[in-house]
Amino acid sequence: MASKHPEIIVTLTGQDGNAFAVLGRCREAAKEAGLSDDEIAAFLDEAMAGDYDHLLQTAMRWFEIR
């Protein structure tokens, strides 16, 4: 399944894996790629709407995760 923004690469492997760190890296990558504040807020809302597994699944749906 292709991600919503495959051009935005977020590296999670070898990084701090807590939820706040994952959200921060995704938010920063989205901001650097020029996503609007509204789109970033939509990602964060979706990502935080469940547990840790939901967060990771949402990140994979939105971005290219490595």
Q: What is the pLDDT of residues 32-46, one digit of tens each?
A: 999 999 999 999 999
Query: Is 20 a domain residue?
Result: yes
Considering the chain, what percentage of its residues have pLDDT values greater than 90? Answer: 86
Domain residues for the domain of 34 are 13-65
**Biggest CA pair distance of the chain:** 29
Mean pLDDT calculated for residue range 42-66: 97
Domain count, the chain: 1
**Is residue 15 very low, low, confident or very high in pLDDT (cuts 50, 70, 90)?**
confident
State the angle between helix axes of 37-47 and 52-62 in degrees (0 to 180), rounded to the nearest 10: 140
Query: Is 58 a domain residue?
Result: yes
Query: Is 4 a domain residue?
Result: no
